[in-house]
Structure 1
Amino acid sequence: MKVLSNWRSVRLWESVYERDLRRRHSLRAYGILIGIVTLLLMWGVAEMVRRLGTHSLAVRYVFTLGVGYIAYLLILRWWAQRLVEGRRDADFDLPDAGGGLDTDTGYAALARADGTGLGDLPGGSLDLASAADGELIVVPVIAIFLIGIAVVLGAGWLVMLFFGSDVLLAVTLEIAFSYVAARATVRLARAGWLSAAVKLTWKPLLGAVICAVVLGAAIDVFLPAAATLPQAVRMILGR
């Protein structure tokens, strides 16, 4: 019963802290800003890799997504730290657990990734280059279908991955709990900020990676002359 009482106290503290965060901050706007910064960074990485001579779009997309995801986690951690430091004037008391509590509760309350905004797979340079004059490009229908599906699904996965506010909330709560637990000597099993962030983002990341590989491979095979996604689209439209 003591373990249950302590855990209920923690859940009550989380509810109060969450309501206060939502009242003081626009978490959805913060999520959009974090997503925009991450996508701009990914665009820069994709352009750098292209200039270094990596011609395979599939390889470039996967590498760019990997770098972008790591950067996203670091930005998320920094942003959540700022939110916690701006709220540390409020003292939420937690009961003393009286030693170690053998409980395997973890953190799984916010297991969804709600996002808003518009995203797109990094296409490297935004320069639109057309095919050589007089060149006739024949692209199979299956290639156009694969490219279209990969772009649409990939954009959706990126929106869920980088523009969600729930991930920022979960990370902020984990960091805040670490401060409170240190003061109150509460020992509850927690996943930690990194585990909470990965738990909420690994599925969108996997979907984005799959779409990136399909998109890059389709362009590499059917439009080998295209160096970027905008160029591939321009070639398909015959411009």
Structure 2
Amino acid sequence: MAASHPSDLAPGSHDPALALALAYAPRDARPVFQDLFALDRRLADAVRQASEPIIAQLKLAWWRDRFAQSPAEWPKGEPLLARLAAWDADISRLGGLVDGWEQIAAAEELTRDVAIAFAGRRARSWAVAASALHVAEADAVEAAGMRWALADLAQHCASEAESALVRAVAADLGHASAESLSLPRNLRPFAILGVLGGRALARERPMLSKGGDFLAAVRTGMLGR
């Protein structure tokens, strides 16, 4: 797959958008966001670090098998699994995030369909996290997730042609928008990332690459819009 991803998408990593978003997470909700982003990073690492697609697929299969099991059957000694098991949600749905990363690993080239499917599966993992926080606004959460996922993919593509393809997909789907999305306060990190993603797609540049992006994120973090 031509698109590449950063080695870290976890809290405290070098992704400034995630770090900024997490700064506005309510204390009692923060662990769910941390777990979600850590899982996404682990799957990204499985793809990025593999020398062959089959190796990435084998690593991803381990995670898929876990989400097909009851948490009671999960192996001991994996801290991330232990944290995910504590979610008050149907965490089997996180298997869709694994499927999204496998599509990236297996694809010979980045196509419109691959970009849409990958971003959609990442966005739906956000809805699982929202349900763990007892928020049922899946449509708004997934819309924010799509903006961020498409923007994140666009800025990590291997070529400008692929980045342009992703931005075109976002525009066609209506996600290249700097308008804020209304989300409850305990989902403020998702609102921030949705705003940053939409601005990046609309302006055809990476997230947080201009001072106005930071101000928009802070405003969203404080006011929710």
**TM-score normalised by the chain length of structure 2:** 0.28
**TM-score normalised by the chain length of structure 1:** 0.27
Instruction: Tell which has more relative contact order, 1 or 2 (C-alpha 8 A, sep 6+).
Output: 1
